[in-house]
Structure 1
Amino acid sequence: MDALDALMTRRSVRKFQNRQIPDEILDRIITAGIFAPSALGLQPWGFVVVQNQDVLNRVSEYCKPLMIKGMEHAKGGISELFYSLMIGEGYSIYYHAPTVIMVCGKNKNRFKEVDCAVCAENMMLAAHALGIGSCWVGSTEVAFDNQEIMAEFDIPEGYGPVVTIAFGYPAEVPEIPEKKVPLVKWIR
């Protein structure tokens, strides 16, 4: 798959097959993240790979009520759809993905959020090119300040959580949505 095809056909996958990704493929995905550009070339990222479903279930069960409480005001649109999914039986914020990777950033790096986001995008594009689905999981962010829950991820000293991504073989891939025409201003 060429780079433009990967960019234009990658989708957020929220239904995964019940099979684990081989370590060799995960290594290639992480390597793609490592090759992302970073401010001043500081490469502030680190990775925590979680395949333990008990850990992911505990974190999900902690995050769901916080997300639900924050969404109870939802009146239509995507928020209402997401709310109805969250209150459903057996819902996991990680969509039951076999692997979740948390991209962490060095705490003393002021650009860590942007750099780790670019790193995460590289990883998701590489995964897609390798036949692996992915989904950026923002729901974990409600737990970033909870030391007990973050201990489940065993984040190395000196790093903080930035991005959590679910990875797995897709069971279902969403259609390409209609893209809105954004503001594009040319100054010549």
Structure 2
Amino acid sequence: MNQVIRSILKRRSVRQYDKEQITEEQLQVLLQTAAMAPNAYDRQERVTVAVQNRALLDEISKDVQTMLLSDPLYREEASVPDFHVFFHAPTVFVVCGPAYSKYAIQDCAVAAENIQIAAHAMGLGSCYIGLADPYVDGEKGRQMVKRLGVSGDYRIMCCVTVGLPKEQPNPTPRKEGVTFVVR
């Protein structure tokens, strides 16, 4: 089986990371895979920012936790000791898209998937972060886009944690009937 297909089939979300930072070479390859992801009309408008600043990641996590604690749906999850929305990963890729684009979410999601598949192929762990949505959609998220150096009317569309995995999660069985062929 080819390496790309093997990586897709074996990749799992990792939520425990070593503190050691990924290498500069790994970082650059992951940024390149994000840039090469498909995008609507080949406009290439999405921006991917790799954040390795621990204080900044902790600040975002604390802001997200504060928002989640006021949401009955996520209060319990945000109340756990040592909560960190990014699971203390050493690198977080923040994928931003133009607020005006009809396809920004899709463009950013495929870039995030490219990062995850490439990370797995390099022996790294990753996790797509969706829990930060209240932050992303709020004023703090808009301010963070600017703090990250992204100019223009951009929004954070998704985040991906990456690092050396402390765990190798087993695959969960896939539901029957979610794939089929119509001929």
| TM-score, normalised with respect to structure 1 | 0.86
Q: Which residue of structure 2 lines up, in the alignment, with residue 108 of structure 1?
A: 100
Query: Does residue 120 in structure 1 map to residue 112 in structure 2?
Result: yes
Distance 1:185 1:7, change over 3 A: closer
Q: Which residue of structure 1 lines up, in the alignment, with residue 170 of structure 2?
A: 175
Q: Which residue of structure 1 lines up, in the alignment, with residue 121 of structure 2?
A: 129
Q: Post-superposition shift, 1:66?
A: 2.2
Q: Is the 8 A contact 1:134 1:167 kept in 2?
A: yes
Q: Post-superposition shift, 1:47?
A: 1.3
Q: Is the 8 A contact 1:104 1:163 kept in 2?
A: yes
Q: How does 1:75-94 map to 2 (within 5 A)?
A: 84-94=76-86
Q: How many residues align?
A: 179
Q: Is the 8 A contact 1:44 1:116 kept in 2?
A: no
Q: Which amino acid aligns with 1:124?
A: Q
Identity level (%): 29
Whole-Å separation in 2 of the counterparts to 1:150 and 1:56: 16
Q: Kindly report the root-mean-square deviation, in angstroms, between the aligned alpha carbons of the 2 structures.
A: 1.9
Distance 1:178 1:146, change over 3 A: same
Gaps of 5+ in 2: none
Q: How does 1:2-81 map to 2 (within 5 A)?
A: 2-70=3-71, 72=72
Q: Post-superposition shift, 1:84?
A: 4.6
Q: Which residue of structure 2 lines up, in the alignment, with residue 151 of structure 1?
A: 143
Tell me, what secondary structure is at the counterpart of 1:43?
coil
Gaps of 5+ in 1: 74-78
